[in-house]
With several copies, the nearest count.
Chain A
């Protein structure tokens, strides 16, 4: 049998990422994940969504799939934008930012990877899919 899946199509509008986090919250409760796990999912989801909103240059919508598996929650955040090469993204360090000219931003990917149990990026010039997993 297929795993139960919640799918969300979100228009690119301010703070729409909160629709995704509220959805994740209820799914996390349903799966009896802890408050901490739920918070980590929230934060990772916010970051993937705002990346898709801000950087992908996708025209209209992004797509989020929540796949409820026996022992994990798998979340896919999909945009149909320009894609990017993750290996070219610098790893941020606060020491290089405070008191330096470096742009203060650039934390999203770092956070996503720190907060989830596994994260995969598939990106081409027709879009990006971020697949992140939180184990029970």
Chain B
């Protein structure tokens, strides 16, 4: 029912995870697993393309907080782009914008990353 999907690509050393669907518990866990896996093989920079995610819940976003924490331990970083307004607002309210970077577009994200 949630139909959360991901597509993983890479640009230079940056892992780009494109998401589709409701970022809930399961969705968050899928993103987490990908990041942990890629970190194990040396990746440190992660960008989430959230254009296909129009809706999230706080459980899913809490798992993103865990990703940020894991990345801090290895001096990695996380960013997002193409966020729906309510998703962006939610990330701001929860304070994720203090520990990770929000970009309007992929171009801007890649430029700074």
Which residues of A pack against B, CB within 8 Å? 14-15, 17-18, 21, 26, 29-30, 35-36, 39-40, 42-43, 46-47, 50, 92-95, 97-99, 104-105, 107-108, 110-111, 114-115
What is the bound-complex CA distance between A119 and B62, given in angstroms? Answer: 23
Binding site for A on B (CB under 8 A): 1-3, 22, 24, 55-59, 61-63, 65-66, 68-69, 72, 84-86, 89-90, 93-96, 98-99
Residue of A at shortest CB range from B94? A107
In the assembled complex, how far is the CB of residue A133 from the closest CB belonging to chain B, in whole angstroms? 18
User: Beyond A18-B22, A29-B1, A111-B90, is A35–B85 a contact (Cβ under 8 Å)?
Assistant: yes
The prevalent SS among residues of B at the interface is: helix
- Give A50 to B98 CA distance when docked, in angstroms: 26
Contacts of B3 in A (CB 8 A): 29
3 closest Cβ pairs, A-B complex: A39-B86, A94-B95, A107-B58
Given contacts A15-B2, A50-B59, A108-B58, contact A98 B65 (CB under 8 A): yes
Contact of B57 among A30, A36, A40, A50 (CB under 8 A): A50
Q: Which residue of B lies closest to A13 (CB)?
A: B1
